[in-house]
């Protein structure tokens, strides 16, 4: 190998060495900048409102017993008509009243019994009010004792007889609540950025939680609490 060739080789090697150093510096700087760019904060924003229910489902279940099946059905028809007449007189729309098929129990036909009963047949009949007139229905509920005085025996201790209140206008308030939850999340993120001497950047990821609708409390099931939580991740920078 000639001296000139050795010299060129040395220059080339030096150039490669310096280039590697420069490349390593650039890569290291890029990695640092990338890590800085990836600094994030994840926050949650809540939106919560109380709204009145707009639909009530009120099942009125009464019971009858008899040893004669035909007489039992006649008693059910009479009791059902008493309830319908009562509800209509109190201002309930007849179109909002429905009657389910009765449930008949033949105690003699039951394989396992708990002893002899005075009546062979027993029946439960349910008349249901499905209405958007919440105030009217709630007022009528307070006067139900009038039917009890007429001899009707109501069964209100089972799950199927529980009154249900619904809120069906979620789509009307959903956009405003999502906007509020997002705004609250950003306020939290801005406060965090300020406390950490950082600047809040763009949104990296965002997810909207499910809306929940629950009764405000046990004594006011007709008032609903609606809430949603949005989770948002923001970029941070110095």
Ranges of each domain in the chain? 1-34, 39-54+167-238, 55-166
Per-residue pLDDT at 5: 64
* CATH C-level class of 55-166: alpha beta
* Short-list 53, 61, 51, 56, CA closest to 164: 56
Per-residue pLDDT at 75: 95
Rounded to the nearest integer, the mean pLDDT of the chain is 85
User: What is the architecture, at CATH level 2, of domain 39-54+167-238?
Assistant: 2-Layer Sandwich (3.30)
Q: Is the pLDDT reported for residue 84 higher than 90?
A: yes
Paired sense of beta strands 97-99 and 121-131, if any:
antiparallel
Q: How do residues 23-59 score in pLDDT, each as one tens digit?
A: 455 444 433 444 455 788 899 999 999 999 999 999 9
Q: Do domains 39-54+167-238 and 55-166 have the same CATH topology?
A: no
Confidence (pTM):
0.75
Q: How do residues 185-221 score in pLDDT, each as one tens digit?
A: 999 999 988 988 889 989 999 998 899 999 999 999 9
pLDDT above 70 covers a percentage of the chain that reads: 79
CA distance linking residue 171 with residue 177, whole number of Å = 10
Cα 121 from chain centre:
41
């Amino acid at each position: 190998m000639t001296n000139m060739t050795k010299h060129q080789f040395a220059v080339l090697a030096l150039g490669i060495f310096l280039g590697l150093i420069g490349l390593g510096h650039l890569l290291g700087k890029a990695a640092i900048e990338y890590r800085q760019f990836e600094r994030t904060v994840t926050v949650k924003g809540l939106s919560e409102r109380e709204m009145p229910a707009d639909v009530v489902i009120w099942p009125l279940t009464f019971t009858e017993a008899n040893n004669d099946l035909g007489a039992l059905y006649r008693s059910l028809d009479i009791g059902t008509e008493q309830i319908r007449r009562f509800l209509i007189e109190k201002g309930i729309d007849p179109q909002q009243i429905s009657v389910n098929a009765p449930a008949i129990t033949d105690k003699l036909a039951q394989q396992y019994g708990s002893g002899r009963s005075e009546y062979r047949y027993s029946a439960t009949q349910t008349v249901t009010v499905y209405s958007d007139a919440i105030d009217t229905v709630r007022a009528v509920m307070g006067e139900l004792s009038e039917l009890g005085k007429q001899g009707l025996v109501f069964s209100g201790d089972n799950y199927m007889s529980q009154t249900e209140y619904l809120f069906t206008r979620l789509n009307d308030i959903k956009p405003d609540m999502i906007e509020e939850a997002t705004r609250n999340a950003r306020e939290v993120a801005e406060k965090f950025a300020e406390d950490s001497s950082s600047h809040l950047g763009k949104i990296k990821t965002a997810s909207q939680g499910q809306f929940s609708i629950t009764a405000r409390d046990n004594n006011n099931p007709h008032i609903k609490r609606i809430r949603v939580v949005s989770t948002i991740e923001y970029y941070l920078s110095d």
